[in-house]
A and B are shown apart, each in its own frame.
Chain A
């Protein structure tokens, strides 16, 4: 079984300031890790993913995340946010050997509000 904890439900930040959205997970097996973004009245779209290799992953729109296995974390960062980054962000995990089954677990989401 897996679980995902997003520590902040809302994060307000001023435009052009840096931001970090925190995600911790729990799993008895190795996992793949994802961050998705949801703009108002839209579905989720993939920001970035960690499958293997380098623990620093770069995604779209200038976001990056770092996988820390010892701390079971996958925090999302952006050095300078823009108004258009205002959205809800979801952290998710999926077991490496799922046998083809869809077993994705999502966090509760973090609403990022960028203040002009």
Chain B
């Protein structure tokens, strides 16, 4: 079974640009969550999508947005990039059924964004 796939793995942007990151979850997983990881801040929850609907959101500005497609693939977008947006962006998928949902997450390798 293929794991969670994130693309691109590395990218460099300049301030003011926008970026789109992609995540393909494990087959059969319907929930996709996004995290921002920076040194000293740990993992900060961005949002979760399930069945094409955002059902949970972290404390990030509106420049951060996402969506999920009918095949459960997800994208996140950051507009008007700032230097502080430089981070590793991690995607995680889970089965997320109403029964026996343990919260175990399956992570991709991340997309490392550098903003210059």
Interface size class of B (residues with CB under 8 A): 20 to 34
Contact with A along B41-62 (1 / 0, CB 8 A): 1110100101000011000000
**Is B110 a contact of A102 with CB atoms below 8 Å?**
no
In angstroms, Cα B107 to Cα A94, docked, is 16
- Compute how far the CA of A100 lies from the CA of B94 in the bound complex, rounded to whole angstroms: 10
B108 an interface residue at 8 Å Cβ cutoff?
A: yes
Q: Mark A39-52, 1 if CB is under 8 A from B, else 0.
A: 00111111001010
Whether A41 lies near B103 (C-beta < 8 A) is: no
Determine whether B96 belongs to the interface, using a CB cutoff of 8 Å to chain A.
yes
Which residues from B are CB-within-8-Å of A109? 42-43
Q: Is the interface of B mostly helix, strand, loop or mixed?
A: strand
Assuming the contacts A90-B43, A107-B42, A109-B42, asked whether A101 and B105 have C-beta atoms less than 8 A apart, the reply is no
Q: B-facing mask of A63-86, CB < 8 A → 1, else 0?
A: 000000000000000000000000
Contacts of A101 in B (CB 8 A): 48, 55-56, 96
When distances are taken between beta carbons in the complex, the residues of chain B under 8 Å from A99 are 98
**Which residue from A32, A45, A90, A107 sits with its C-beta under 8 Å from B103?**
A32
- B107 partner, pick from A45, A95, A108, beta carbons under 8 A: A45
* Interface magnitude class on chain A: 20 to 34
| Contact indicator A104/B105 (Cβ below 8 Å) | yes
Report Cα–Cα, A43/B96, bound state, in Å. Answer: 20
A28 at the interface (CB under 8 A from B): no
Q: What residues of chain B have their CB less than 8 Å away from a CB belonging to chain A?
A: 4, 6, 31, 33, 41-43, 45, 48, 50, 55-56, 90, 92, 94, 96-98, 101-110, 112
